[in-house]
Amino acid sequence: MAWSTVPLETVRAGTALTDRPAWLKACADVECGTPLVLCCGEGFLPLSLTRRQGLTVARGLGQAYRSVAGPILEGGAAMPALQPGDLPGEVDLVDLRRFPRAFVEAVLPSSPARLARPDILHFDRPLEASEEAFLASLSKGTQKDLRYVLRRVEKTFGQDGITRQTVRLDGENRDAAWARAEAFARNSWQGQAGVSVLTDPEKRMFLSRLQRNGMAVKLHFYALGAEVAAVAVTMEDHGHILIYAHEYHAGYAKYQPGHILNYHILAEAIDEGLTTLDFGVGETPHKYAWQCRSHSLWRVMVPLTWKGWLALGYQKTRWQVAALCKGRATA
């Protein structure tokens, strides 16, 4: 069965939060490529065509923003094979990132060349029906650590010195909240390294588009005394919550404010009846502390023209050089 091209508006909502129509539309709004949505039966494959330096590349739509940028299928369904004839003739290279390992072999299976390798890990977990059950699901070490930091913070700052605030981006005070978040980012390591979501104009525009398309986007503040110690950005939709970004004040690191803020966010999510946590991509210790499951996502590159072959060869050489340099550094 062949894939056919359909409008983005016809995509059926996926189970994952970042496969929802609001998310896909926001990705299409901010990306420089042209959306190309393929449909086969009840499945969809959202792609984006970009052209740079004479090379046309088919990438996953929003693959820099979605937790998993694979096909949107009915639960448990296999991905129909994607063939060269399913793509526009001008495509030189297929370059899919954050792609589920289970579907890698369905990407242009008849191609004589395919470069597939692990890309990044995705983390998620189900949420229990109560805060007590959620805490019981954590390791004893994590429970002990959480109790300790909560007592330490209360002892140091007092109950009146600890404040939390949640602001929806469609609220009246959103501009003031963003200004507060941007001021805080000067003290987070992400802000000092220039990679903070809170000060990135492109990310901010993406979040604004999400909210405009109907996704609940929230800013969470955790303050110790008069100073903000941690900030998080979350999205909620159809029982799912995604902790999209969280940063903490480097000067308050010993109090683990980011860890505490995440705990309060999850406790509130459970109280509101949310059932699934999406913790995004990237391997960090705190995701394991929250007992999240890890899923391997892959990068798949397949050339369709001689220009695609050149691009693939260049990327392969870059990986080989990087691996060689890493080997020398650890020798």
19 has a pLDDT exceeding 80:
yes
Q: How far from chain centre, in Å, is Cα 270? A: 21
**What distance, in Å, lies between the first and last C-alpha atoms of the chain?**
50
Residue range 166-171: mean pLDDT, rounded? 86
Helix intervals (H) in the chain: 21-30, 131-137, 140-157, 174-185, 189-193, 201-212, 257-271, 285-289, 306-330
Which pLDDT score is estimated for 327? 72
Q: How is residue 246 written in tokens?
A: 């969280």
**Least trusted range by pLDDT, from 32-41, 42-51, 118-127, 168-177:** 168-177
* CA neighbor of 273 nearest in space, from 219, 237, 224: 237
Sheet of 227-237, strand order: 4-6, 34-40, 43-52, 55-60, 93-100, 293-303, 115-126, 276-281, 240-248, 227-237, 216-224, 162-168
Which pLDDT score is estimated for 319? 85
Residues 6+ apart with CB under 8 A from 181: 198, 219, 221, 231
Number of neighbours of residue 227 by Cβ within 10 angstroms:
11
Question: Which DSSP state fits 75?
Answer: T
Contact by Cβ (8 Å): 192, 227: no
CA distance 110 to 81: 9
Task: Report residue 86's pLDDT band, with 50, 70 and 90 as the boundaries.
Answer: very high
The position carrying tokens 């189970």 is: 15
Q: Give residue-wise pLDDT tens across range 135-163.
A: 999 999 999 999 999 999 999 999 999 99
Residue range 227-253: mean pLDDT, rounded? 95
320 has a pLDDT exceeding 90:
no
**Least trusted range by pLDDT, from 32-36, 250-254, 286-290, 324-328:** 324-328
